[in-house]
Each structure stands twice: as C-alpha cells, then as structure tokens.
Structure 1
Amino acid sequence: MTGTKKPAETLEVRALTRDRRKGLLRLGEITVPCALGRSGIVVRKREGDGATPAGRFALLHVYYRPDRGLPPATRLPLEPLSPAAGWCDDPGHPRYNRPIDLPFPASHEVMWRQDRLYDIVVVLDCNIAPAVPGKGSAIFFHIAREDYRPTEGCVAVAPEHMRLILSTIGSGAEMVIHA
C-alpha cells in the first residue's frame, strides 16, 4: 500500500421519510440532499412512471455542457455534449435507452437542455445491457433544480455537490438506491 487514499466507490441514496421525492445521497463522509422521481423510489420501474428505480447501478459515463463550464474532474469516461445530443426513450425503437443524434424520428430526450439539469449528467447502468423495452430509460444522475423539485425518475444534486462527488469517486463507482 502506497498510502494513497482509495477513492470512495459507493453512492448510497435514500428517500426522506417526510417526502419520498427528496432524499439524501451519501458517499463516505459526504452527505448531500438530492431530488428523486415524482413517484419516489420503486422496485419495479416502468417507462413514464416518474419513479426512481431501486437497485445497484454502475456510473458509466459523464456528459457535460462545454459552453457552461469546465469539464468536471473525474476518473469516469467524460464527453462534451453537443446541440445534436439526444437519448431515445421510445420502447418500440431499436435505439431504446441509448444515445442518439438529433434530429431523430422516434420519441427522445434532448440532452442539450435550456435549463441547467444536464450541464453535468452521469449515465447510470439502469436497463442498459440489455435494454428491456418499457423498463425505463434515461435514468441519470444529474444537476437538481434549485428547489430540488422532483425529477422524472433520476437522482439529482446541486452543481457543486456533483463536482465534489465526481472528483472523489473511482472508475468502478456504483450508486445504490434503496427502496
């Protein structure tokens, strides 16, 4: 052992008992508030239910808006977004729950948003390999609204907390969302 501190690997997410649409995210000694889906945390995720899925998900990839700040410091794969970035959320399309280029004929999310929610966005390994149609898409770890209003099923934190977390975790990091 060289004395180098090992990066924290597990982000623990739990809903608040008083409001299941908000929670706490813990990473080692770091604890920060987070926004959750409008339907709280569920064990059986369905497309469009507004719920955050319970489970253990690897943090796969980080996207960021290069026009809105420096890239976050992270050991995860990092890629700048472009105005043509999208994510397919159409369960009937072969690209379901995958990144796509816009314009795109099927239902999709625009990743280059007018608000700041996807200024930094981490893709979670939720229904990715393989993607099962209807089991949920675009489940991300991203920036929260200032008032921590609910997400559509993602986990979201303040921008400064996102940067702190990304600078702390290793490439094998996982997010555990507790039901």
Structure 2
Amino acid sequence: MGQRSLGVTLAAAALVASGVAPAGAAAQASFPADADQVVTVVADSPSATTATLTAWERDGGGWVPVRGPVAVFVGKDGIGQASETTSHTPAGTWSLTEAFGIQPAVTRLPYRQVTTSDWWVSDVRSPHYNTHFSCAPGTCPFDEAAGENLGKAGPVYNQAVVIDYNRRPVVPGAGSAFFLHVTGGRPTAGCVAIPAADLDAILRWLDPARRPVIEISA
C-alpha cells in the first residue's frame, strides 16, 4: 500500500467513540477511504520503544474502537525509517493481507501454519528478499543466517500478521520481516509485539473484505 498519513489522532477518534464529537468527525479526519478496519500504533516519541495499539472499524459515518488501547512494544530504535541495519519499526500506513503462525489459524486472512521449513528471507543479495520461502534447513537458496526460521522462533510466532512494509515493490536493504506478533516482553528488532490474547482477538476480527491496514506513528 505504501506510506500514507491517516491524519487522525487517537484523541479525536476517542471523542467520536465517547459521543462528545459528532458521528461524522472521525470519517472527516480521514482514515483511509478504502479501509474499513484500521489498527493504530502510536508512540509518545520517535525514540520510544513502547506504544499504544487500538483497533478501529468503520461504523456508518464514524469509527468505533473494538480493541484497546493496548500497551505494545515496538523496535529497539523506536519508530522511523526502517532498514536492514536498524531496529526501527517502520512509520507509515501498511496493508494487512496475510498471517502465519505455529498454531492453527483463527483468522479470515490467508494463513500459513509454519514449521521449521518456513523462512522469512532477509538476505539482501537474494531475489527472495523480504518474502516467505519454504525449504529444509541447510538446503535454502539464500544465506540462512540472514533469514528468520519462523518455526524455530518459539511462542512469539504462535500467531502473527504480516505488515506489508517494503513488499510491493521490494527494495533490497530497506528492511524485512515486519510483523504484528506475540510479545516476548521486550522491545523488538522492528516488529510490533502485543499480548497473546489481544492478538488472538485482532486476528479473529480482521477481515480481508474490509481492507485492513495498520498505521504506525510517533
């Protein structure tokens, strides 16, 4: 989808939800016109390693919070311009089009149940950079040390949603493997990490027909 500002604050949307503002105010504040589900991740500053996540859905002329606010972890370097050499969580608005996990699917998004033969490629020299690839360990056509074995990651990848940063088109070195995943209790290498129960609820709520996006800002 590419980077695009939502132009709405949590405070403004919260006023709508509470009935203080008129029902059309959130829509006028311009969430993406083609999205009916939005997950916002807002940090207090670009260097903060924690943020607040809220899930919103379009309801008539306004927006209603359906989950959150939830405290989450973001990248060790905060929120900003992502790359392969930083631990920034990418700032911007990105579509949410697929999910994966070690556990079985609970979502309507296209879902891949992963094993130790599932990878996310971070080898900048590989034509498969920033994509999923299936291969047995020791046989992959890329530098496995510069990739992430999804099945070996443990509980943090019990469930995860792919954040479509740097995917269409893929720019080598601009950063790879950005997910909304289960928290490990600390800042991440660039992903958004959320408590397991909240992620499970969001996965069950996400509907590809409603064109969900995530907006990350500080």
Could you list the runs of 5+ residues in structure 2 that have no partner in the other structure?
A: 1-34, 57-64
Structure 1 pair 174–143 and aligned structure 2 pair: CA distance change class (3 A): same
CA distance in 2: counterparts of 1:158 and 1:8, whole angstroms: 24
CA distance in 1: counterparts of 2:95 and 2:155, whole angstroms: 23
Counterpart of 2:202 in structure 1 is 165
| Alignment match of 1:20 (pick from 35, 48, 60) | 48
What is the one-letter code of the residue matched to 1:115? G
User: Aligned residue pairs: how many?
Assistant: 166
CA distance in 2: counterparts of 1:55 and 1:162, whole angstroms: 20
| Alignment match of 2:75 (pick from 15, 27, 37) | 37
Question: Normalising to structure 1: TM-score of the pair?
Answer: 0.86
Q: Please report how far the alpha carbon of residue 167 of structure 1 lies from its aligned counterpart in structure 2 after TM superposition.
A: 1.6
Counterpart of 1:46 in structure 2 is 83
Counterpart of 2:154 in structure 1 is 115
Could you list the runs of 5+ residues in structure 1 that have no partner in the other structure?
A: 1-6
Ranges of 4+ aligned residues in structure 1 off by more than 6 Å: none
State the identity as a percent: 30
Structure whose residues are more often strand by fraction: 1
Question: Normalising to structure 2: TM-score of the pair?
Answer: 0.71
Q: Please report how far the alpha carbon of residue 165 of structure 1 lies from its aligned counterpart in structure 2 after TM superposition.
A: 1.0
Counterpart of 1:4 in structure 2 is none
CA distance in 2: counterparts of 1:95 and 1:52, whole angstroms: 21
| Alignment match of 2:193 (pick from 131, 156, 164) | 156
Q: Please report how far the alpha carbon of residue 122 of structure 1 lies from its aligned counterpart in structure 2 after TM superposition.
A: 1.0
Does residue 144 (structure 1) correspond to residue 183 (structure 2)? The answer is yes
Q: Please report how far the alpha carbon of residue 114 of structure 1 lies from its aligned counterpart in structure 2 after TM superposition.
A: 4.6
Counterpart of 1:10 in structure 2 is 38
Say whether the 8 Å CA contact 2:46–2:78 is kept in structure 1: no
With a CA cutoff of 8 Å and minimum separation of 6, indicate the structure with the bigger relative contact order.
1
Counterpart of 1:86 in structure 2 is 119
Say whether the 8 Å CA contact 2:47–2:79 is kept in structure 1: no
